[in-house]
Structure 1
Amino acid sequence: MTEAVRGAARAWRPRVWPLLAVCALIFAPLRAEADCLLVADAADGRVLLETGTCDERVTPASTFKLALAAIAFDAGVLKGAHDPMMTYREGEIAWGGDKWRGDIDPEAWLERSVVWYSQRLVRALTPERVSRTLRALGYGNADLSGDPDAGRGPEWSWIASSLKISASEQMAFLRELDAGTLDLDPAAMSQALALLPAYDGGEGWRVKAKTGGAFRLRPDGGVDRSRGWGWFVGRAEKGAERLLFVRQVIETNGARGSPGRRVRDDVLARWPVIAREALAAR
């Protein structure tokens, strides 16, 4: 992370103004132990809206794919939206069912959030190189050690394991990635951002963002749904307006399904309200 961006992040804080209405609209549907919402102006990185606890490091889950994509494009392991195409091998993770099987290219990897494709990229790049690059980019604790005692090494590190990042750190990383100021090839950063899935944000807003969802993993490899993490991280555009956002929740309600998809659906349903409140704070 550049010193200039660190300084900007420290200097620009959201103005103090009544947030009760927007907080009620944003947080009411999700039953969570902790929430964070950050919205920043993409033009200068100013944080326009900040609610909740945003400095606690938690698993990035599949939002890590955005950083991994940028690193892999920079290294030449990824070459384009459809290159390389990789084919599922029996025995690899297929939590997503049939849509994770068959042929997967980089575009489908991010859109379908395919874990085995990420694992192959980490192997190709080597965990040491990925960790070293994450550290240089200021991406959380950059710890890809995983849980060796549980038989889950670096290729599991971003799934409720050793790699952790706070919402504030996610925003700092996203700001530099969007601005093209990370110590990576500019084309690699643009290619990574171009892979983000696109959504209709309502009222003319176009949202491009990555979900992330994970539960605790038990020693036997099963899922402990008593604690889940959900993310939705990306940017939104409407005409000349460009906003960056990070939404993160910690769920303790034992709900089934992906926390990341719940967070995504919640943000998209409320995006026009969130955007209006953020822009009003400028």
Structure 2
Amino acid sequence: MKNLLSLLFLLSLVSLSYAQKITERNFKPYFDRYGVNGCFVLFDEANNEFIRYNPAVCDSGFIPASTFKIPHSVIALEEGVVSDTNQVIPWDGHEWPIKNWNQDQTLRTAVKYSCVWVYTGFAEKIGIDKYRKYVQAFDYGNKNLNGPPTRFWLAGEFRISANQQIAFLRKFYHNNLPVAKESIEKVKKLIVLDKGDNWILSGKTGGGVLDDTDYVMWLVGYFEKDNHPYFYALNFVSDDFNGTSQARYKITKDILMELKLIEP
């Protein structure tokens, strides 16, 4: 018994030595520039460290909106509703308020322009039951797909927090999802946002309706520097969708510069 207690004590010391470090930072001034309140979380995998601003909000669930296009694109490839990122998806002629939607698309352009009609079309073919299986297998958000079956990621009870986005992105990045590696690798190429001499920023924006006046605005993804990955998730609430859409990139870039991951 004494030996067992000693072993358990040693194991507890080992586990503590590998415990994740959590550092809170004040990134409020970057959000204040745009008159918005939100959160930011970054996970430094090499140092096993979370850096968070506004941790309570980082743990709050919001509709995923177009950030779901990352897993959604993987699902579409897995289900064969689109075979390749350059396969032409014909436009049906419906006029949308966003000019870039009013044309034939590919998976590549659908991600770039956040083209909703492409993904609602996928949903009509895939069906809600299969989505439930994938969301469970991916352990994505609250897994509650109660809502419109062809746009549950935009309306309904589906929610994901910034912290949960990080958990999914780590599995996605390391090909630790129960899908073909090829499907994941194809989507990774679609979400590259920017590059520097020794770094690559990948991610996906999202904008979801909260009520008659407010939206949740997202940018989630990962940052690679010298082959070292950092996973990030940002969100904020805004009453001006168009006016704050670029703030998602600007706030993220400003924070990465403060953390000395990107040079000014």
TM-score with structure 2 length normalisation?
A: 0.82
Taking the aligned partners of 1:246 and 1:199, their CA distance within structure 2 comes to: 16
| Separation in structure 1 between the aligned mates of residue 121 and residue 217 of structure 2, nearest angstrom | 24
Q: What is the CA-CA distance between 1:25 and the residue it aligns to?
A: 4.5
Taking the TM superposition and a 5 Å limit, the aligned residue runs for 1:18-57 are 19-20=25-26, 23-33=27-37, 35-42=38-45, 46-52=48-54, 53-57=57-61
| SS of 2:22 mapped into structure 1 | coil
| Cα deviations by residue, 1:60-90 (Å, 9 ceiling, x for unpaired) | 110010010111222232322202x112223
Q: What letter is aligned with 2:110?
A: W
Which of the numbers 162, 170, 189 marks the counterpart of 2:184? 189
When the two structures are aligned, how many residues end up with a matched partner?
245
Matches within 5 A, 1:20-169: 20=26, 23-33=27-37, 35-42=38-45, 46-52=48-54, 53-83=57-87, 85-91=88-94, 94-96=96-98, 98-146=99-147, 153-169=148-164
Q: Is the 8 A contact 2:123 2:151 kept in 1?
A: no
Residue in structure 2 matching 1:236, options 214, 223, 230:
223
Q: Report the aligned-residue RMSD.
A: 2.7
CA distance in 1 between partners of 2:76 and 2:46 (Å): 26
Per-residue Cα deviation, 1:21-62 (whole angstroms, up to 9, x for no partner)? xx24433323234x2211113558x34311212111111110
Identity of aligned residues (%): 22
Q: Are 2:67 and 2:204, in contact at CA under 8 Å, matched by a contact in 1?
A: yes
Which structure would you say has the larger Rg? 2
Q: TM-score with structure 1 length normalisation?
A: 0.77
Structure 2 distance, partners of 1:160, 1:101, is: 23
Contact 2:94 2:102 (C-alpha < 8 Å) held by counterparts: no
Q: Distance in 1 between matches of 2:260 and 2:64?
A: 24
Cα displacement string for residues 212-251 of structure 1 (whole angstroms, at most 9, x for unaligned residues) = 012246xxxxxx2x21101101112232332111111123
Instruction: Find the residue that maps to 2:158 and give its secondary structure.
Output: coil
Q: Distance in 1 between matches of 2:20 and 2:248?
A: 26
Tell me the alpha carbon deviations over residues 169-218 of structure 1, each in whole angstroms, 9 at most, x when there is no partner.
11100010001111111111111221114225x6854211100012246x
Identify the residue that residue 4 of structure 1 maps to in structure 2.
none
Structure 2 letter corresponding to 1:39:
L
